[in-house]
Amino acid sequence: MKAYTTIEALVASVLLLTVVSISVIIILNIMASNKSNLKYRAEQILKEIALNYEESNMDDYEDQFIRIEMTKKLYSDFEDVWQIELMAYDRNGVFISDLSFLKKRVNED
Amino acid sequence: MKIRAGALVYAIFIAFILFGLCSSFILFSYHHRKLVGSNETQLSYLIALNSAIELGLSKYFQHNDEEKSVVQLFVENTGFSISLKKESWGLYDILTAEHLNPTIYKSKTALIGSSAFEHSSLALYLTDKTSPLSMGGRTNLKGLCFLPKSGLRKAYIEGQNFCGVMPEPSEIRDSQKRLPSPNMKKITQLQKLFADKGLLDSVIPFESNIGAVVLNDWNGKSVTLQSSNEINLQTMRLKGKILVYSPSRITIENCELDGVIFISPIIIVKRQSKGNFQAIASDSILIDYQSRLNFPGSLSLINFDNSPDKKGVVSFKNQSYLEGDVLIHTSQTGHNIKLLLEIDASSGMSGRAYVKGPVELKGIIRGGLFCEEFILKTPSSMYSNHLFNSTIDRASLPTNFIGSSLFSTSNDIIKWLN
Protein backbone atom coordinates (compact mmCIF):
# COMPACT_ATOMS: atom_id res chain seq x y z
CA MET A 1 0.00 0.00 0.00
CA LYS A 2 1.30 3.39 -0.93
CA ALA A 3 2.14 5.80 1.92
CA TYR A 4 0.89 9.38 1.57
CA THR A 5 2.84 12.40 2.70
CA THR A 6 1.35 14.78 5.29
CA ILE A 7 0.82 17.39 2.61
CA GLU A 8 -1.11 15.00 0.41
CA ALA A 9 -3.30 13.98 3.33
CA LEU A 10 -4.01 17.63 4.15
CA VAL A 11 -4.93 18.46 0.56
CA ALA A 12 -7.21 15.46 0.36
CA SER A 13 -8.90 16.28 3.71
CA VAL A 14 -9.58 19.91 2.74
CA LEU A 15 -11.06 18.91 -0.61
CA LEU A 16 -13.08 16.09 0.93
CA LEU A 17 -14.44 18.33 3.68
CA THR A 18 -15.41 21.01 1.17
CA VAL A 19 -17.21 18.53 -1.06
CA VAL A 20 -19.02 16.99 1.93
CA SER A 21 -20.09 20.43 3.24
CA ILE A 22 -21.46 21.51 -0.14
CA SER A 23 -23.37 18.27 -0.48
CA VAL A 24 -24.84 18.58 3.01
CA ILE A 25 -25.90 22.19 2.38
CA ILE A 26 -27.51 21.32 -0.94
CA ILE A 27 -29.31 18.29 0.49
CA LEU A 28 -30.56 20.22 3.51
CA ASN A 29 -31.75 23.04 1.28
CA ILE A 30 -33.60 20.71 -1.03
CA MET A 31 -35.20 18.94 1.94
CA ALA A 32 -36.22 22.23 3.53
CA SER A 33 -37.60 23.71 0.35
CA ASN A 34 -39.56 20.55 -0.44
CA LYS A 35 -41.09 20.62 2.98
CA SER A 36 -41.95 24.36 2.93
CA ASN A 37 -42.98 24.49 -0.73
CA LEU A 38 -46.38 22.98 -0.07
CA LYS A 39 -47.03 25.26 2.90
CA TYR A 40 -45.81 28.28 0.94
CA ARG A 41 -47.96 27.40 -2.02
CA ALA A 42 -50.99 26.83 0.19
CA GLU A 43 -50.48 30.20 1.89
CA GLN A 44 -50.14 31.88 -1.49
CA ILE A 45 -53.39 30.33 -2.66
CA LEU A 46 -55.26 31.33 0.50
CA LYS A 47 -54.03 34.92 0.18
CA GLU A 48 -54.93 35.06 -3.46
CA ILE A 49 -58.46 33.86 -2.68
CA ALA A 50 -58.78 36.40 0.14
CA LEU A 51 -57.63 39.29 -2.06
CA ASN A 52 -59.90 38.32 -4.97
CA TYR A 53 -62.77 36.88 -2.97
CA GLU A 54 -65.59 38.09 -5.22
CA GLU A 55 -64.01 36.64 -8.35
CA SER A 56 -62.59 33.52 -6.70
CA ASN A 57 -63.75 30.02 -7.46
CA MET A 58 -62.32 27.49 -4.98
CA ASP A 59 -62.13 24.71 -7.59
CA ASP A 60 -59.74 26.79 -9.68
CA TYR A 61 -57.23 26.83 -6.85
CA GLU A 62 -57.34 23.20 -5.77
CA ASP A 63 -54.86 20.78 -7.32
CA GLN A 64 -53.53 17.25 -6.78
CA PHE A 65 -51.70 18.33 -3.61
CA ILE A 66 -53.93 20.92 -1.96
CA ARG A 67 -57.58 20.93 -0.91
CA ILE A 68 -59.27 24.06 0.38
CA GLU A 69 -62.19 24.40 2.76
CA MET A 70 -64.08 27.57 3.54
CA THR A 71 -66.26 28.39 6.53
CA LYS A 72 -68.34 31.51 6.93
CA LYS A 73 -69.74 32.95 10.13
CA LEU A 74 -70.89 36.34 11.33
CA TYR A 75 -68.06 38.36 12.81
CA SER A 76 -68.67 38.99 16.50
CA ASP A 77 -71.87 41.05 16.92
CA PHE A 78 -71.76 42.48 13.43
CA GLU A 79 -74.76 41.18 11.56
CA ASP A 80 -73.59 42.53 8.22
CA VAL A 81 -69.97 41.30 8.28
CA TRP A 82 -68.81 37.79 7.44
CA GLN A 83 -65.70 36.30 8.96
CA ILE A 84 -64.46 33.93 6.31
CA GLU A 85 -61.96 31.26 7.27
CA LEU A 86 -60.01 29.42 4.62
CA MET A 87 -58.19 26.20 5.47
CA ALA A 88 -55.76 24.31 3.27
CA TYR A 89 -55.17 20.55 3.63
CA ASP A 90 -53.02 18.16 1.69
CA ARG A 91 -54.64 15.24 -0.12
CA ASN A 92 -54.13 13.06 2.96
CA GLY A 93 -56.23 15.47 4.99
CA VAL A 94 -53.29 16.88 6.90
CA PHE A 95 -53.75 20.53 7.82
CA ILE A 96 -51.29 22.87 6.09
CA SER A 97 -52.37 26.45 6.71
CA ASP A 98 -55.33 28.75 7.36
CA LEU A 99 -56.35 32.37 6.87
CA SER A 100 -59.18 34.53 8.18
CA PHE A 101 -60.56 37.72 6.67
CA LEU A 102 -63.70 39.86 6.79
CA LYS A 103 -66.18 40.74 4.07
CA LYS A 104 -69.19 43.00 4.26
CA ARG A 105 -72.34 41.01 3.85
CA VAL A 106 -74.33 41.91 0.78
CA ASN A 107 -78.03 41.25 0.34
CA GLU A 108 -77.67 38.12 -1.75
CA ASP A 109 -75.29 36.45 0.78
CA MET B 1 3.91 9.55 -6.27
CA LYS B 2 5.10 12.62 -4.47
CA ILE B 3 3.32 16.00 -4.55
CA ARG B 4 5.17 19.19 -3.87
CA ALA B 5 4.33 21.02 -0.63
CA GLY B 6 3.24 24.01 -2.78
CA ALA B 7 0.12 22.00 -3.66
CA LEU B 8 -1.32 22.98 -0.27
CA VAL B 9 -1.54 26.58 -1.46
CA TYR B 10 -3.56 25.48 -4.47
CA ALA B 11 -5.77 23.30 -2.30
CA ILE B 12 -6.46 26.20 0.07
CA PHE B 13 -7.12 28.49 -2.89
CA ILE B 14 -9.65 26.05 -4.33
CA ALA B 15 -11.19 25.64 -0.88
CA PHE B 16 -11.59 29.43 -0.64
CA ILE B 17 -13.30 29.57 -4.02
CA LEU B 18 -15.65 26.77 -3.01
CA PHE B 19 -16.23 28.48 0.33
CA GLY B 20 -17.10 31.70 -1.52
CA LEU B 21 -19.52 29.84 -3.78
CA CYS B 22 -21.15 28.13 -0.80
CA SER B 23 -21.42 31.40 1.11
CA SER B 24 -22.99 33.23 -1.82
CA PHE B 25 -25.39 30.33 -2.30
CA ILE B 26 -26.38 30.46 1.37
CA LEU B 27 -26.64 34.27 1.32
CA PHE B 28 -28.73 34.22 -1.85
CA SER B 29 -31.01 31.63 -0.33
CA TYR B 30 -31.27 33.66 2.89
CA HIS B 31 -32.12 36.91 1.09
CA HIS B 32 -34.58 35.14 -1.17
CA ARG B 33 -36.37 33.71 1.85
CA LYS B 34 -36.31 37.10 3.54
CA LEU B 35 -37.79 38.79 0.46
CA VAL B 36 -40.49 36.14 0.10
CA GLY B 37 -41.22 36.43 3.83
CA SER B 38 -41.45 40.19 3.56
CA ASN B 39 -43.84 39.95 0.60
CA GLU B 40 -45.92 37.44 2.53
CA THR B 41 -46.05 39.79 5.52
CA GLN B 42 -47.08 42.68 3.26
CA LEU B 43 -49.88 40.54 1.82
CA SER B 44 -51.01 39.58 5.33
CA TYR B 45 -51.08 43.25 6.32
CA LEU B 46 -53.02 44.08 3.17
CA ILE B 47 -55.61 41.39 3.89
CA ALA B 48 -55.92 42.64 7.48
CA LEU B 49 -56.36 46.24 6.25
CA ASN B 50 -59.01 45.14 3.76
CA SER B 51 -60.77 43.30 6.58
CA ALA B 52 -60.65 46.41 8.76
CA ILE B 53 -62.14 48.51 5.96
CA GLU B 54 -64.93 45.93 5.51
CA LEU B 55 -65.57 46.13 9.26
CA GLY B 56 -65.61 49.94 9.09
CA LEU B 57 -68.31 49.75 6.40
CA SER B 58 -70.62 47.89 8.75
CA LYS B 59 -73.59 49.88 9.96
CA TYR B 60 -73.04 48.35 13.39
CA PHE B 61 -69.53 49.75 13.70
CA GLN B 62 -69.48 52.71 16.06
CA HIS B 63 -67.17 55.32 14.58
CA ASN B 64 -65.89 58.06 16.84
CA ASP B 65 -66.43 61.12 14.65
CA GLU B 66 -63.15 62.30 13.17
CA GLU B 67 -61.32 60.18 15.78
CA LYS B 68 -59.48 56.91 15.38
CA SER B 69 -61.08 53.71 16.66
CA VAL B 70 -58.78 50.81 17.38
CA VAL B 71 -59.91 47.36 16.32
CA GLN B 72 -58.31 44.01 17.12
CA LEU B 73 -58.83 41.59 14.27
CA PHE B 74 -58.81 37.83 14.70
CA VAL B 75 -57.54 38.04 18.25
CA GLU B 76 -57.40 34.29 18.60
CA ASN B 77 -54.94 33.98 15.70
CA THR B 78 -52.59 36.78 14.92
CA GLY B 79 -53.98 39.77 16.73
CA PHE B 80 -53.67 42.53 14.16
CA SER B 81 -54.18 45.96 15.75
CA ILE B 82 -55.59 48.42 13.29
CA SER B 83 -56.95 51.93 13.70
CA LEU B 84 -60.03 52.98 11.76
CA LYS B 85 -60.99 56.57 11.10
CA LYS B 86 -64.06 57.86 9.32
CA GLU B 87 -64.12 61.52 8.42
CA SER B 88 -66.53 63.59 6.42
CA TRP B 89 -65.40 64.74 2.98
CA GLY B 90 -68.17 66.85 1.53
CA LEU B 91 -71.19 64.70 0.69
CA TYR B 92 -69.05 61.59 1.05
CA ASP B 93 -66.80 60.14 3.76
CA ILE B 94 -63.20 59.00 3.90
CA LEU B 95 -62.47 55.74 5.70
CA THR B 96 -58.84 55.09 6.63
CA ALA B 97 -57.38 51.92 8.12
CA GLU B 98 -53.84 52.03 9.52
CA HIS B 99 -51.68 49.36 11.10
CA LEU B 100 -50.65 50.19 14.63
CA ASN B 101 -47.37 48.32 14.26
CA PRO B 102 -44.77 51.08 14.73
CA THR B 103 -42.20 49.33 12.58
CA ILE B 104 -44.39 49.15 9.49
CA TYR B 105 -46.54 52.02 8.27
CA LYS B 106 -49.18 50.65 6.02
CA SER B 107 -52.61 52.08 5.41
CA LYS B 108 -55.58 51.94 3.08
CA THR B 109 -57.97 54.77 2.40
CA ALA B 110 -61.31 54.67 0.63
CA LEU B 111 -63.91 57.21 -0.35
CA ILE B 112 -67.23 55.85 0.80
CA GLY B 113 -70.86 56.61 0.19
CA SER B 114 -74.09 54.70 -0.03
CA SER B 115 -75.42 52.45 -2.73
CA ALA B 116 -79.12 53.05 -2.46
CA PHE B 117 -81.98 55.41 -2.05
CA GLU B 118 -84.70 54.12 0.21
CA HIS B 119 -86.30 52.82 -2.99
CA SER B 120 -83.44 51.71 -5.20
CA SER B 121 -85.45 51.90 -8.41
CA LEU B 122 -86.79 55.38 -7.69
CA ALA B 123 -86.79 57.73 -10.65
CA LEU B 124 -88.90 60.58 -9.29
CA TYR B 125 -90.36 61.76 -6.01
CA LEU B 126 -92.54 64.80 -6.62
CA THR B 127 -94.29 66.22 -3.56
CA ASP B 128 -98.06 66.40 -3.55
CA LYS B 129 -98.88 70.07 -4.12
CA THR B 130 -102.32 69.21 -5.55
CA SER B 131 -101.56 69.86 -9.23
CA PRO B 132 -100.83 66.76 -11.36
CA LEU B 133 -97.63 66.22 -13.29
CA SER B 134 -98.14 67.09 -16.94
CA MET B 135 -95.90 65.69 -19.67
CA GLY B 136 -95.59 67.16 -23.13
CA GLY B 137 -93.44 66.62 -26.22
CA ARG B 138 -90.79 63.88 -26.08
CA THR B 139 -90.73 63.53 -22.30
CA ASN B 140 -89.58 60.18 -20.95
CA LEU B 141 -90.18 59.12 -17.37
CA LYS B 142 -88.90 55.62 -16.59
CA GLY B 143 -88.77 53.97 -13.18
CA LEU B 144 -90.59 54.05 -9.87
CA CYS B 145 -92.42 57.38 -9.43
CA PHE B 146 -93.97 58.92 -6.34
CA LEU B 147 -96.43 61.47 -7.75
CA PRO B 148 -99.19 63.78 -6.46
CA LYS B 149 -102.49 62.03 -5.89
CA SER B 150 -103.94 63.97 -8.80
CA GLY B 151 -101.65 61.83 -10.96
CA LEU B 152 -100.07 62.11 -14.33
CA ARG B 153 -101.46 63.55 -17.53
CA LYS B 154 -100.49 64.27 -21.10
CA ALA B 155 -100.24 67.90 -22.10
CA TYR B 156 -100.14 69.91 -25.31
CA ILE B 157 -97.28 72.34 -24.95
CA GLU B 158 -95.82 74.75 -27.51
CA GLY B 159 -97.73 73.07 -30.30
CA GLN B 160 -96.49 69.59 -29.47
CA ASN B 161 -98.48 66.62 -28.27
CA PHE B 162 -97.00 64.14 -25.83
CA CYS B 163 -95.06 61.43 -27.65
CA GLY B 164 -92.68 60.17 -24.97
CA VAL B 165 -92.71 57.35 -22.41
CA MET B 166 -94.83 57.29 -19.26
CA PRO B 167 -94.11 55.04 -16.27
CA GLU B 168 -96.12 51.83 -15.99
CA PRO B 169 -99.17 52.17 -13.70
CA SER B 170 -97.55 49.62 -11.35
CA GLU B 171 -94.59 51.98 -10.98
CA ILE B 172 -96.67 54.91 -9.75
CA ARG B 173 -97.23 55.54 -6.04
CA ASP B 174 -98.68 58.45 -4.08
CA SER B 175 -96.29 61.01 -2.71
CA GLN B 176 -96.54 63.01 0.52
CA LYS B 177 -96.81 66.76 0.88
CA ARG B 178 -93.20 66.89 2.00
CA LEU B 179 -90.03 65.31 0.73
CA PRO B 180 -88.53 62.49 2.77
CA SER B 181 -85.92 63.92 5.14
CA PRO B 182 -82.33 63.41 4.15
CA ASN B 183 -79.56 62.41 6.54
CA MET B 184 -79.37 65.57 8.67
CA LYS B 185 -75.99 64.56 10.09
CA LYS B 186 -74.48 64.97 6.66
CA ILE B 187 -76.09 68.39 6.21
CA THR B 188 -74.83 69.47 9.66
CA GLN B 189 -71.32 68.39 8.62
CA LEU B 190 -71.58 70.51 5.45
CA GLN B 191 -72.87 73.42 7.53
CA LYS B 192 -69.90 73.13 9.87
CA LEU B 193 -67.47 72.95 6.97
CA PHE B 194 -68.99 76.10 5.45
CA ALA B 195 -69.02 77.95 8.80
CA ASP B 196 -65.41 76.94 9.53
CA LYS B 197 -64.43 78.23 6.08
CA GLY B 198 -62.93 74.88 5.27
CA LEU B 199 -60.31 75.34 7.98
CA LEU B 200 -59.70 71.77 8.91
CA ASP B 201 -55.92 71.62 9.08
CA SER B 202 -53.22 73.50 7.17
CA VAL B 203 -54.06 76.81 5.50
CA ILE B 204 -52.23 78.26 2.52
CA PRO B 205 -53.15 81.80 1.36
CA PHE B 206 -54.22 81.55 -2.26
CA GLU B 207 -52.35 84.75 -3.09
CA SER B 208 -49.02 83.12 -2.22
CA ASN B 209 -47.14 81.51 -5.05
CA ILE B 210 -48.71 78.07 -4.93
CA GLY B 211 -47.79 77.10 -8.49
CA ALA B 212 -49.91 75.44 -11.15
CA VAL B 213 -50.00 72.06 -9.48
CA VAL B 214 -51.08 71.32 -5.92
CA LEU B 215 -51.05 67.72 -4.73
CA ASN B 216 -51.88 66.48 -1.26
CA ASP B 217 -51.87 62.97 0.06
CA TRP B 218 -55.18 61.41 1.14
CA ASN B 219 -53.67 59.86 4.26
CA GLY B 220 -52.47 63.05 5.85
CA LYS B 221 -54.14 66.25 6.91
CA SER B 222 -56.13 68.38 4.52
CA VAL B 223 -54.85 71.59 2.97
CA THR B 224 -57.07 74.66 2.59
CA LEU B 225 -56.27 77.18 -0.12
CA GLN B 226 -57.94 80.30 1.18
CA SER B 227 -58.42 83.85 0.04
CA SER B 228 -60.31 86.83 1.43
CA ASN B 229 -61.22 87.81 -2.15
CA GLU B 230 -62.54 86.09 -5.25
CA ILE B 231 -60.56 83.10 -6.43
CA ASN B 232 -59.96 82.48 -10.14
CA LEU B 233 -58.49 79.08 -10.82
CA GLN B 234 -57.16 78.85 -14.36
CA THR B 235 -55.36 75.90 -15.97
CA MET B 236 -54.40 74.51 -12.58
CA ARG B 237 -54.11 70.96 -11.41
CA LEU B 238 -55.37 70.18 -7.90
CA LYS B 239 -55.40 66.66 -6.58
CA GLY B 240 -56.00 65.09 -3.19
CA LYS B 241 -57.24 66.23 0.18
CA ILE B 242 -57.55 69.90 -0.73
CA LEU B 243 -60.22 72.49 0.09
CA VAL B 244 -60.51 75.83 -1.66
CA TYR B 245 -62.37 78.60 0.16
CA SER B 246 -63.42 82.07 -0.85
CA PRO B 247 -65.93 84.26 1.04
CA SER B 248 -67.27 85.73 -2.23
CA ARG B 249 -66.80 83.62 -5.40
CA ILE B 250 -64.72 80.87 -6.95
CA THR B 251 -64.36 80.63 -10.73
CA ILE B 252 -62.84 77.47 -12.21
CA GLU B 253 -61.63 77.52 -15.80
CA ASN B 254 -59.97 74.71 -17.70
CA CYS B 255 -58.64 73.00 -14.58
CA GLU B 256 -57.82 69.37 -13.88
CA LEU B 257 -59.31 68.41 -10.54
CA ASP B 258 -59.38 65.27 -8.46
CA GLY B 259 -61.16 65.01 -5.13
CA VAL B 260 -61.06 68.72 -4.29
CA ILE B 261 -63.82 70.52 -2.35
CA PHE B 262 -64.73 74.12 -3.25
CA ILE B 263 -66.53 76.23 -0.65
CA SER B 264 -67.92 79.64 -1.47
CA PRO B 265 -71.26 81.45 -1.78
CA ILE B 266 -70.94 81.40 -5.58
CA ILE B 267 -69.09 78.77 -7.60
CA ILE B 268 -68.75 78.97 -11.39
CA VAL B 269 -67.27 76.18 -13.46
CA LYS B 270 -66.60 76.92 -17.11
CA ARG B 271 -64.45 76.36 -20.19
CA GLN B 272 -64.34 72.60 -20.31
CA SER B 273 -63.16 72.07 -16.76
CA LYS B 274 -62.87 68.37 -16.07
CA GLY B 275 -62.34 66.01 -13.21
CA ASN B 276 -64.15 65.07 -10.05
CA PHE B 277 -64.74 67.57 -7.31
CA GLN B 278 -67.37 68.76 -4.86
CA ALA B 279 -68.85 72.24 -4.67
CA ILE B 280 -70.53 73.59 -1.55
CA ALA B 281 -72.27 76.93 -1.99
CA SER B 282 -74.84 79.11 -0.28
CA ASP B 283 -76.03 81.21 -3.26
CA SER B 284 -75.45 79.56 -6.61
CA ILE B 285 -73.46 77.04 -8.61
CA LEU B 286 -73.12 77.42 -12.36
CA ILE B 287 -71.73 74.60 -14.50
CA ASP B 288 -71.15 75.99 -17.95
CA TYR B 289 -69.38 75.67 -21.32
CA GLN B 290 -69.01 71.91 -21.78
CA SER B 291 -67.75 71.36 -18.26
CA ARG B 292 -67.86 67.79 -17.11
CA LEU B 293 -67.80 66.69 -13.49
CA ASN B 294 -66.79 63.07 -13.44
CA PHE B 295 -67.86 60.54 -10.86
CA PRO B 296 -67.86 61.00 -7.90
CA GLY B 297 -68.74 64.68 -8.04
CA SER B 298 -71.29 66.57 -6.03
CA LEU B 299 -72.94 69.98 -5.94
CA SER B 300 -74.50 71.19 -2.69
CA LEU B 301 -76.49 74.40 -2.39
CA ILE B 302 -77.69 74.94 1.14
CA ASN B 303 -79.43 77.80 2.90
CA PHE B 304 -76.77 77.81 5.59
CA ASP B 305 -77.92 81.03 7.30
CA ASN B 306 -81.59 79.92 7.30
CA SER B 307 -82.55 83.09 5.49
CA PRO B 308 -86.36 83.35 5.11
CA ASP B 309 -86.11 84.84 1.58
CA LYS B 310 -83.24 82.83 0.14
CA LYS B 311 -82.88 82.69 -3.64
CA GLY B 312 -80.38 80.39 -5.25
CA VAL B 313 -79.76 78.16 -8.23
CA VAL B 314 -77.71 75.19 -9.37
CA SER B 315 -77.54 75.52 -13.11
CA PHE B 316 -76.22 73.26 -15.88
CA LYS B 317 -75.77 75.01 -19.20
CA ASN B 318 -74.19 74.51 -22.61
CA GLN B 319 -73.51 70.78 -22.74
CA SER B 320 -72.44 70.44 -19.14
CA TYR B 321 -72.69 67.15 -17.32
CA LEU B 322 -72.40 65.78 -13.78
CA GLU B 323 -71.82 62.24 -12.61
CA GLY B 324 -72.71 62.20 -8.93
CA ASP B 325 -75.06 63.93 -6.52
CA VAL B 326 -76.91 67.21 -6.30
CA LEU B 327 -78.21 68.44 -2.96
CA ILE B 328 -80.31 71.58 -2.65
CA HIS B 329 -81.59 72.02 0.86
CA THR B 330 -83.13 74.54 3.22
CA SER B 331 -84.48 74.01 6.69
CA GLN B 332 -86.70 77.09 6.34
CA THR B 333 -90.01 76.90 4.53
CA GLY B 334 -91.95 79.73 2.96
CA HIS B 335 -92.97 81.24 -0.34
CA ASN B 336 -90.03 83.63 -0.39
CA ILE B 337 -87.49 80.83 -0.49
CA LYS B 338 -86.61 79.65 -3.96
CA LEU B 339 -83.74 77.26 -4.45
CA LEU B 340 -83.81 75.97 -8.02
CA LEU B 341 -82.15 73.21 -10.02
CA GLU B 342 -81.95 74.15 -13.68
CA ILE B 343 -80.77 71.78 -16.42
CA ASP B 344 -80.89 73.07 -19.99
CA ALA B 345 -81.72 70.97 -23.05
CA SER B 346 -78.07 70.20 -23.88
CA SER B 347 -77.04 69.24 -20.34
CA GLY B 348 -77.71 66.52 -17.85
CA MET B 349 -76.55 64.38 -15.00
CA SER B 350 -76.11 60.76 -13.97
CA GLY B 351 -76.77 60.18 -10.32
CA ARG B 352 -79.17 61.39 -7.71
CA ALA B 353 -80.59 64.81 -7.02
CA TYR B 354 -82.42 65.99 -3.91
CA VAL B 355 -83.97 69.41 -4.43
CA LYS B 356 -85.98 71.06 -1.70
CA GLY B 357 -87.48 73.44 -4.20
CA PRO B 358 -88.44 73.54 -7.86
CA VAL B 359 -86.65 71.97 -10.82
CA GLU B 360 -86.56 73.37 -14.33
CA LEU B 361 -85.63 70.30 -16.35
CA LYS B 362 -85.12 70.46 -20.10
CA GLY B 363 -82.26 67.99 -20.30
CA ILE B 364 -81.74 64.51 -18.94
CA ILE B 365 -81.40 62.92 -15.51
CA ARG B 366 -80.08 59.37 -15.59
CA GLY B 367 -80.94 58.31 -12.07
CA GLY B 368 -83.30 59.57 -9.41
CA LEU B 369 -84.77 62.96 -8.50
CA PHE B 370 -86.51 64.22 -5.38
CA CYS B 371 -88.15 67.63 -5.86
CA GLU B 372 -91.07 69.75 -4.71
CA GLU B 373 -92.19 71.06 -8.08
CA PHE B 374 -91.33 71.31 -11.76
CA ILE B 375 -91.39 74.63 -13.51
CA LEU B 376 -91.28 75.12 -17.24
CA LYS B 377 -90.50 78.42 -18.92
CA THR B 378 -91.30 78.75 -22.61
CA PRO B 379 -91.14 81.87 -24.81
CA SER B 380 -94.88 82.28 -24.42
CA SER B 381 -95.66 81.11 -20.94
CA MET B 382 -94.62 79.63 -17.62
CA TYR B 383 -96.04 76.34 -16.37
CA SER B 384 -96.07 74.62 -13.00
CA ASN B 385 -95.48 70.85 -12.70
CA HIS B 386 -94.92 70.44 -16.43
CA LEU B 387 -92.16 68.47 -18.13
CA PHE B 388 -91.40 69.12 -21.78
CA ASN B 389 -88.86 67.31 -23.97
CA SER B 390 -86.95 66.07 -20.97
CA THR B 391 -85.96 62.68 -19.56
CA ILE B 392 -85.73 61.05 -16.14
CA ASP B 393 -84.53 57.48 -16.53
CA ARG B 394 -83.59 55.38 -13.51
CA ALA B 395 -82.69 52.36 -15.62
CA SER B 396 -79.81 54.26 -17.25
CA LEU B 397 -78.05 54.47 -13.91
CA PRO B 398 -76.19 51.30 -12.92
CA THR B 399 -77.98 49.42 -10.15
CA ASN B 400 -74.76 49.35 -8.13
CA PHE B 401 -74.27 53.12 -8.36
CA ILE B 402 -72.82 54.49 -5.14
CA GLY B 403 -73.53 58.08 -4.23
CA SER B 404 -73.76 60.16 -1.08
CA SER B 405 -75.15 58.72 2.14
CA LEU B 406 -78.04 61.22 2.24
CA PHE B 407 -80.73 58.55 2.16
CA SER B 408 -79.23 55.39 3.53
CA THR B 409 -77.20 54.23 6.48
CA SER B 410 -75.35 51.65 4.42
CA ASN B 411 -71.71 52.30 3.60
CA ASP B 412 -70.08 51.24 0.38
CA ILE B 413 -66.74 51.93 -1.23
CA ILE B 414 -66.88 54.48 -4.03
CA LYS B 415 -63.18 54.28 -4.83
CA TRP B 416 -59.83 53.52 -3.26
CA LEU B 417 -57.77 56.60 -2.61
CA ASN B 418 -54.46 54.78 -2.11
Averages of pLDDT over runs of 10 residues in chain B (418 residues) are: 70 81 86 86 88 90 77 66 90 90 82 78 90 94 94 90 92 92 90 83 81 88 91 91 94 91 94 86 92 92 87 93 94 84 95 94 95 92 93 90 85 91
- Does B36 contact A at CB distance below 8 Å? yes
Contact between B368 and B354 (Cβ < 8 Å): no
Per the CB < 8 A criterion, the answer to whether A36 and A60 are in contact is no
Interface test with A, best of B30, B51, B69 (most A CBs within 10 A): B51
pLDDT digits (tens, 9 = 90+) for A19-75: 888 888 888 877 777 667 788 888 888 999 998 888 877 778 877 788 899 999 998
| Residue A2, pLDDT above cutoff 80 | no
CB contact under 8 Å between A10 and B8, yes or no, is yes
User: Looking at the complex, does the CB of residue B156 fall below 8 Å from at least one CB of chain A?
Assistant: no
Cα distances (angstroms) measured from residue B327 to each of B94, B339, B404: 19, 11, 10
Q: What CA–CA distances, in Å, run from B246 to B196, B199, B278?
A: 12, 12, 14
3-state secondary structure at position B342:
strand
Chain A residues with beta carbon closer than 8 angstroms to that of B21:
22
Total-model pTM: 0.85
Residues from chain B that touch A14, judged by Cβ atoms under 8 A, are: 11-12, 15
Is B1 near chain A, with CB under 8 Å? Answer: yes
Contact call for residues B339 and B303 (beta carbons, < 8 A): yes
Q: Say whether A15 and B51 touch across the interface (CB within 8 A).
A: no
Does the distance separating the beta carbons of A51 and B22 come in below 8 Å? Answer: no
Nearest CB neighbour to A18, from listed B18, B40, B44: B18
Nearest to A11 among B8, B43, B54 (CB): B8
Complex ipTM more than 0.95, yes or no: no
- CA-nearest residue to B59 within chain A is A80
Nearest CA distance, B121 vs chain A (angstrom): 16
The closest alpha carbon to B285, from B324, B339, B241, belongs to: B339
| Predicted local distance difference test score (pLDDT) of residue B366 | 95
